[in-house]
Amino acid sequence: MPNAIHFGAGNIGRGFIGPLLADSGYHVTFADVNESLIDSLNSHDHYTVHILSNRPSVTEITHFSGVVSTSPDLLNEFPTVDLVTTSVGAQILPKIAPTIAKGLKKLYQERPDALVDVIACENGVGASEILRKEVGKHFKKDASPAEIDFFDKHIGFANCSVDRIVPPFDPTKSGNGDSDKEQVKEHELDVGVEDFYEWVVDQDALKADHNIHGMKLAKNLLAYVERKLFTLNTAHATISYLGWLKGYETVNEAIEDKQIYSIAKGAVEESGRALLKKHTIFSKDEHERYINTIMDRRLKNPSVQDEITRVCRAPKRKLGRNDRLVGPAMMDYEFGIGKPTNLAQSIAAAIWYSDEDDEDAVAIRNMVNEKGVEAVLREISGLKRGDEKADQLVDNVLEAYGALKGELGVELPN
Ligand SMILES: NC(=O)c1ccc[n+]([C@@H]2O[C@H](COP(=O)([O-])OP(=O)(O)OC[C@H]3O[C@@H](n4cnc5c(N)ncnc54)[C@H](O)[C@@H]3O)[C@@H](O)[C@H]2O)c1
Ligand SMILES: O=P(O)(O)OC[C@@H](O)[C@@H](O)[C@H](O)[C@H](O)CO
């Protein structure tokens, strides 16, 4: 039986990547910092994935175990590993890199001929490449030439696009009916997922053939990553930041607000125009269908009750230069498309987001109060002063930020 180590036993780990690996015959060792989650994984021989749709169904997941990611026991899993995957959050990748580096050294000692791939299943451009650089720094420190050769030639780091909405799971709120026996949550490992999924992996970066059902292989990975991040995630974030300011708690509530729907649709049209110019593999008709499926089917799925605070989480990452808001807005300027007014409203709403339980949001509000909004755009979003296009976006967002209160007709936080 092939073996996979998956870092992050959260929603995507248990609800998407873990199940695809298990269904393809892998034993999955989940590695997570959450000790009680690991105890639970080790004390159950199965858990259930609930498909949240108007035709609900369930799949039972078996052949998994858990290990605390900070425990030395995790290193003992590496000599038999075939594939390493992650879904911990892009900002966490540098934290797990030293462990992966140590594990790969152990793998080299016991199986110097092994070919192993590492796939970071995170929202973000080039996540596996970022992980490769981080792991490489640790692996290559004090490494022998043979070890360095092993790292460079035997370990693949393949970027991917990973798409499946996996909200916090509460079967009583799934919209599938409380009385439906199939939807009763058995234990805390159970997870609810939308029926749609897409996992596209860079075929040129893989060192081995892993035969995983549901994993699509493709060249032009950047096109798939940006199409997904700059459409699904752009709309999701826009709906959620504006929704939070208007007092909604779920994505379903916020998307029914006509003003929010219209800004979100405008934002994905603005990003879509640039995406089609940059990535010519997608036709205009195909992209229009892609947008419509997201806006009118996936994000409106009444069986998926997603929390706005989950979608808004980590706003520093989401305001990053290459992420879902600033990334497509800058692409509009770069491809001469014009002023992305809807994206600017979305960026402004993200800066206004002030959930006290979100440490990024608190840091952004403090920065706004101490240094002003422009500092957020320059320092967090990397919009360099003197770069003409970046300066245009800054002006556009500052205008949107000031007008947002009037536009939405709500009181905004300090
Ligand atoms: N949930 C979704 O709809 C969805 C869809 C596509 C992609 N993603 C991406 O998948 C990744 C995970 O998202 P999620 O929704 O599953 O989050 P989550 O919070 O449900 O799961 C993350 C898991 O990582 C663990 N973790 C955190 N730090 C760790 C560390 N240092 N070592 C080991 N484990 C650690 C946490 O304990 C948690 O169990 C993110 O990059 C997200 O953008 C999520
Ligand atoms: O996971 P994040 O924090 O990057 O973004 C929140 C959601 O938009 C995201 O998890 C989506 O549900 C997911 O990307 C769908 O594929």
CB-based contacts of 126: which residues, under 8 Å, 6+ apart?
Answer: 159, 222, 225
Residues 209 and 235 in one domain: no
Ligand nearest to the CA of 323: 2
Q: Which of 218, 247, 266 is the last residue of a domain?
A: 218
Residues 50 and 178 in one domain: yes
396 token code pair: 């556009």
Average pLDDT over residues 164-193: 71
For the beta sheet containing 215-218, the strands, ordered from the edge strand earlier in sequence to the opposite edge, are 160-163, 198-202, 215-218
Q: How far is the CA of 10 from the centre of ligand 2 (A)?
A: 13
Q: How far is the CA of 123 from the centre of ligand 2 (A)?
A: 7
Q: How confident is the model at residue 45 (pLDDT cuts 50, 70, 90)?
A: very high
- Structural domain span for residue 136: 3-218
For the chain, the C-alpha Rg in angstroms (whole number) is 22
Residues 214 and 253 in one domain: no
Residue 90 to residue 80: CA distance in whole angstroms? 26
Average pLDDT over residues 146-155: 98
Are 49 and 164 within 8 A, CB to CB?
A: no
Residues 239 and 212 in one domain: no
Residues 228 and 211 in one domain: no
Q: How confident is the model at residue 305 (pLDDT cuts 50, 70, 90)?
A: very high
Q: Provide the pLDDT for residue 170.
A: 79
Task: Report the DSSP pairing between strands 83-86 and 3-7.
Answer: parallel
**How many domains are contained in the chain?**
2
Residues 7 and 86 in one domain: yes
Q: How confident is the model at residue 185 (pLDDT cuts 50, 70, 90)?
A: low
> Atom 1 in ligand 1: which residue has the minimum CA distance?
166
Residues 290 and 371 in one domain: yes
Residue 256 to residue 46: CA distance in whole angstroms? 37
Residues 121 and 255 in one domain: no
**CATH number of the domain within which 110 lies:** 3.40.50.720
Q: How confident is the model at residue 174 (pLDDT cuts 50, 70, 90)?
A: low
Span 114-139, pLDDT tens digits: 999 999 999 999 999 999 999 999 99
Residues 157 and 32 in one domain: yes
**CATH number of the domain within which 277 lies:** 1.10.1040.10
Residue 211 to residue 56: CA distance in whole angstroms? 27
Task: Report the DSSP pairing between strands 116-120 and 155-157.
Answer: parallel
> Atom 6 in ligand 1: which residue has the minimum CA distance?
163
> Quick check: 182 pLDDT over 90?
no
Ligand 2 atom nearest to 313, measured from its CA: 3
Q: Could you count the other beta carbons within 10 Å of the beta carbon of residue 399?
A: 15
Residue 399 to residue 402: CA distance in whole angstroms? 5
> Could you tell which of 123, 231, 360 is best to mutate to test the pocket of ligand 2, judged by most ligand atoms within 8 Å of the CB?
123
Residues 181 and 130 in one domain: yes
Asked if the interface predicted TM-score (ipTM) of this complex is over 0.90, the answer is yes
> Quick check: 178 pLDDT over 60?
no
> Quick check: 144 pLDDT over 50?
yes
> Quick check: 176 pLDDT over 70?
no
User: Is 414 inside any structural domain?
Assistant: no
Q: Could you count the other beta carbons within 10 Å of the beta carbon of residue 127?
A: 24
As a whole-number percent, the residues of the chain with pLDDT over 90 amount to 93
CB-based contacts of 237: which residues, under 8 Å, 6+ apart?
Answer: 311, 312, 318, 324, 325, 346, 350
Q: Provide the pLDDT for residue 396.
A: 98
Q: How far is the CA of 243 from the centre of ligand 2 (A)?
A: 16
Residues 213 and 233 in one domain: no
Residues 325 and 189 in one domain: no
Q: How confident is the model at residue 413 (pLDDT cuts 50, 70, 90)?
A: confident
Cα torsion through 255, 58, 181, 8, rounded to 10: -70
Q: Is the CB of 234 under 6 A from ligand 2?
A: no
